[in-house]
Amino acid sequence: SVEPKSKSAGASSTGTFISPVPYNDLCQMFEEVEKTSSRLTIIKLCSEFLISVMKQDSRNLIPVTYLCINKLGPDYMPGMELGLGEGLLMKTISEACGKSLAQVKLDFKETGDLGQVALSARTVQPTMFKPKPLTVGEVFQNLQTIASAQGKDSQTRKMRLIKRMLTACQGVEAKFLIRSLEAKLRIGLAEKTVLISLSKALLVREHQRVGENIDMDLVETAEQRIRDAFCQVPNYEIIINACLEYGISELDTHCALRPGIPLKPMLAKPTKAITEILDAFQGQHFTCEYKYDGERAQVHLLPDGSMRIYSRNGENMTERYPEINIHDFVRDTTTTKTLILDCEAVAWDKEQGKILPFQVLSTRKRKDVDISEVKVRVCLFAFDILCHNGERLINETLRERREILHKVTQPVTGEFQYATQLTTNNTDELQKFLDQSVHDSCEGLMVKMLDGPESHYEPSKRSRNWLKLKKDYLEGVGDSLDLCVLGAFFGKGKRTGKYGGFLLGCYNQDTAEFETACKIGTGFSDELLQQLYDRLSPTVIDGPKATYVYDPSAEPDVWFEPTVLFEVLTADLSLSPVYKAGSGTYDRGISLRFPRFIRLRDDKGVEDATSSEQVIEFYESQSHIQN
Ligand code: ATP
């Protein structure tokens, strides 16, 4: 399999390669993309550019792809986040372009686009000499240095690097450089579109038919293969290198999941009744497990004997759980060298020997946890094994995976246990098991296909092969929704000085837009409202982002950067003249009626918010709509 030879993709593949592609060429392509809204044209522009840089040197592909998706490397690696604050950028623009800070601020207020502000400032700035033009490799490497800069004088170092680049910017470069630093390219180039373009470019290379039209079906198959590989190994550098070396059709063999890289977890669809489960599985073998209410934990044993625990989002949270030691529950570490387990980490009451509610788990410190500080320990409830000694197990049946799980691990009460399970298709027994799960402090049941290809573990997929039955949500739409906080309304009365209500939206994965779904003001304690004010007020932006789809009649008092997700409950979903969720499908949007706050979803990124597609599914699954 192909490993990245260096940690940084800017100097990727050979470890010293710095892409010489002129940054201006990339920015010209961005400029063209910005001018069009046609997805096909965008794919054409982007794929042609990728083909041209690949022709010069295939190693160019990695930094160019990352700059197109506005990322610096895999999400699971620390120090890859840009998103510099407006304040710092305005100060830097002012100093680099010889414009007063007050003027920069004013320009920003007028345009709402710091990229544009920098571009105008650069255009009118007299230059004594012509600096060396920027290259993609240089910009990419500098962005990586900026993102990972830490420590006392890191602000100064960041500003120095940005200033140096700004001074060298020509033409439209300043606009895109600043937007990249803000992590908002805003040219309508969604990651999905870049993936399609990348697939097309790689196909053209493989077919050596530059200029000819490649069948869209071929592109779709290639894109699916890359996407599948990405779910197992979310690292473009590894994937692109594997494509270049072995070809897209060989990706599955050469780009399989591996310990040390968190794969995207398999997800479940909601159901509202036991009868629905029986209908869904129609006589096929299925099995039920308790649905534990904690945090997903993907546990990896690496060849060097170390352990890593990754969150649902692929974040390394090993340090958060110093009390977990994989060697306590792997049966034989002389024969088991590597492992990936799928588990739920749940707060555990040691004295009483029972599960504690999620709220207790959420009180634990998230960073720098010292074992002596651990008051509430967690117990891992394992429900799957995905890899053992380098062998990929996701294409085995669940029945087989369970057997292997039991063979290579051993339960240790209160530390590592197997998810309680029952295999039956008797309605009464199912009902009893559901009640028992709730009695045992679980959320309900997970129902999974047990045999056949449908029981394979499908990274990142949400299919009917895994169903969730949450006891609390059997009434209503069957599940809670995780919506992004887009704006807020100032509080009145007791809530004066804080936000009293929030505007929430779902995420449209096709358009990369947030579509408003409701206003919420119920379910918050005063203390929580204060915390939310403290957390959200620094993220206030001057106006709605271009990616917010909303109706002016539901405009909030303040808009935010999308950073926080609320898990919310709703009585039902209805079509609305005001809200916009799913409005690409229906002529009106869908909104939540009587939404109620349940909790913050800090374990999910904003793009993991409930999708527009899911909102539509929830809406359509309601019995009155079906009838
Ligand atoms: P989403 O909203 O994307 O479906 P979520 O994170 O809100 O995901 P849930 O809808 O509550 O999660 O259900 C799936 C989650 O349930 C898993 O991500 C996992 O963390 C948890 N879980 C608990 N017990 C099990 C189990 N036995 N099998 C699989 N997942 C389980």
19-42 tens-digit pLDDT: 999 999 999 999 999 999 888 999
The residue-averaged pLDDT of 135-164 equals 93
Cα 423 to ligand 1 centre (Å): 19
ipTM, interface predicted TM-score of the complex? 0.96
| Residue 337 pLDDT grade (very low, low, confident, very high; cuts 50, 70, 90) | very high
What confidence category does residue 135 fall into, taking pLDDT thresholds of 50, 70 and 90?
very high
pLDDT of residue 15: 57
64 lines ligand 1 (CB under 6 A): no
In this prediction, residue 11 carries a pLDDT of 42
Structure tokens given for 578: 């005001």
Which of 287, 289, 295, 296 to mutate to test ligand 1, by most ligand atoms within 8 A of the CB atom?
A: 296
pLDDT per residue as tens digits for the range 311-324: 999 999 999 999 99
Ligand 1 close to Cβ of residue 342 (< 6 A): no
Say what percent of the chain tops pLDDT 90.
70
- Label residue 571 by pLDDT band (50, 70, 90): confident
Choose, from 291, 448, 470, 580, the residue flagged as catalytic.
291
Q: pLDDT tens digit string along 593-622?
A: 999 999 999 889 899 999 999 999 999 988
Q: What's the gap in Å between 84 CA and the centre of ligand 1? A: 33
For residue 482, give the ligand 1 atom closest to its CA: 2
pLDDT number for residue 126 = 66
Q: Report the C-alpha gap between 167 and 181 in whole angstroms.
A: 15
Is there a catalytic annotation at residue 291? yes
Tell me which residue has its CA closest to atom 25 in ligand 1: 291
Per-residue pLDDT of 59-79, as tens digits, reads 999 999 999 999 999 989 988
Percent of the chain at pLDDT above 70? 96
3-state secondary structure of 21: coil
Contact present, 433 and 446 (Cβ < 8 Å): no
Closest CA to 301 of 235, 387, 424: 387
Q: For the purposes of burial, counting CB atoms within 10 Å of the CB of 178, is it exposed (0-12), middle (13-18) or buried (19 or more)?
A: buried
Q: What spacing in Å lies between the alpha carbon of 467 and ligand 1's midpoint?
A: 10
Distance 357 CA to ligand 1 centre (A): 15
Note the pLDDT tens digit of each residue in 212-229. 677 888 888 999 999 999
User: Bigger pLDDT: 323 or 475?
Assistant: 323
Rounded CA separation 385/394 (Å): 8
Q: For position 274, what pLDDT does the model report?
A: 87
CB distance 292 to ligand 1 below 6 Å: yes
Q: How far is the CA of 225 from the centre of ligand 1 (A)?
A: 25
Query: CA nearest 329: which of 419, 421, 408, 420?
Result: 408
DSSP H helices in 169-311: 173-182, 191-207, 216-232, 236-246, 251-254, 274-281
